[in-house]
Chains A and B, each alone.
Chain A
Amino acid sequence: MTKDRAPFLLLNEEQKMLAKTAHEFIRERAPAARIRAFRDSRDEVGFSRELWSEMAELGWLGLQIPERYEGMGLGFFDLAVVLEQSGRELMPEPFVSTLLLGTQALLLGGSEEQKKALLPGVAAGETLITIGYEEAGSRGDASKPVTVAKDSSDGFELSGEKLQVLDGHLADRIIVSAATSDTGYALFLVDPTQSGVTVIRQSRMDGLNAAIVRLERVRVKSDAVVGGLDAGAALLGAVFDRASVGLAAQMLGASEQAFTDTVDYIKEREQFGVPIGSFQALQHRAVSVYTDIALTRSVVLAAARAIDESPDEVPRLASLSKAMGSETFMHAAKEAIQMHGGIGVTDAHDIGFYMKRAQSTYMTFGMPSQHRRRWAELHGY
Chain B
Amino acid sequence: ARTDPNAPKKQMGISVVLVDLDTPGITVRRIDLISGHSPFCETFFDNVRVPTANLVGTENEGWTIAKAILGHERSSIGRSIARQPGSAQREVVARARKHLAVPEGAIPDPLLRDEVASLGMLEEAFHLTLARIQQSAESGTPGPEGSITKIVGSELKQRRFELGMQVAGTQGLGWEGPGFDADDLQYTRDWLRSRASTIEGGSSEIQKNIVSKRVLGLPEGKK
Contacts and interface: CB of A to CB of B under 8 A. Distances in A.
B129 A295 contact: yes
B220 interface: yes
A284 B213 CA distance: 11
Contact of B132 (A280, A301, A324): A301
Nearest to B114: A372
A3 B220 CA distance: 43
A302 B127 CA distance: 11
12 contacts: A6-B135, A10-B136, A267-B218, A278-B221, A283-B209, A287-B148, A298-B132, A320-B125, A369-B114, A376-B106, A376-B107, A379-B120
A290 B114 contact: no
A6 B130 CA distance: 10
Interface residues of B, number: 46
Interface of B: 85-86, 89, 93, 96, 104-107, 110, 113-114, 116-118, 120-122, 124-129, 131-132, 135-136, 139, 145, 148, 151-152, 205, 208-209, 211-212, 215-222
A259 to B, nearest CB: 9
Contacts of B114: 369, 372-373, 376
A249 interface: no
B135 to A, nearest CB: 5
A375 B120 CA distance: 9
A263 B222 CA distance: 19
Nearest to A369: B114
A381 B93 contact: yes
State the main secondary structure of chain B at its contact with A. helix
A264 to B, nearest CB: 10
A377 B107 CA distance: 10
Contacts of A376: 106-107, 113-114, 116-117, 120
A299 B125 CA distance: 6
A2 interface: yes
A284 B124 CA distance: 24
A175 B221 CA distance: 56
A97 interface: no
A6 B131 contact: yes
Contacts of B113: 372-373, 376, 381
Interface centre among B89, B126, B132, B222 (most CB of A within 10 A): B132
Contact of B151 (A291, A302, A377, A381): A291
A287 B214 CA distance: 11
A381 B92 CA distance: 11
A290 B145 CA distance: 9
A280 B206 CA distance: 11
A349 to B, nearest CB: 21
Contact of B106 (A9, A280, A286, A377): A377
Given A274-B222, A284-B208, A375-B120, A6 B127 contact: yes
Interface in A1-59: 1-2, 6-10
A275 B125 CA distance: 33
A278 B220 contact: yes
Contacts of B126: 295
B127 A381 contact: no
A301 B152 CA distance: 19
A375 B212 CA distance: 33
B121 to A, nearest CB: 5
The 10 closest A-B pairs by CB, nearest first: A6-B131, A372-B117, A298-B128, A283-B212, A278-B221, A295-B125, A9-B132, A1-B85, A298-B129, A278-B219
Contact of B135 (A10, A279, A294, A323): A10
B218 A298 contact: no
A280 B120 CA distance: 30
Nearest to B136: A10
Contacts of B215: 290
A323 B114 CA distance: 12
A149 interface: no
A266 interface: yes
Nearest to A3: B85
Contacts of B121: 320, 323-324, 372, 375
A255 interface: no
A282 to B, nearest CB: 8
A1 B209 contact: no
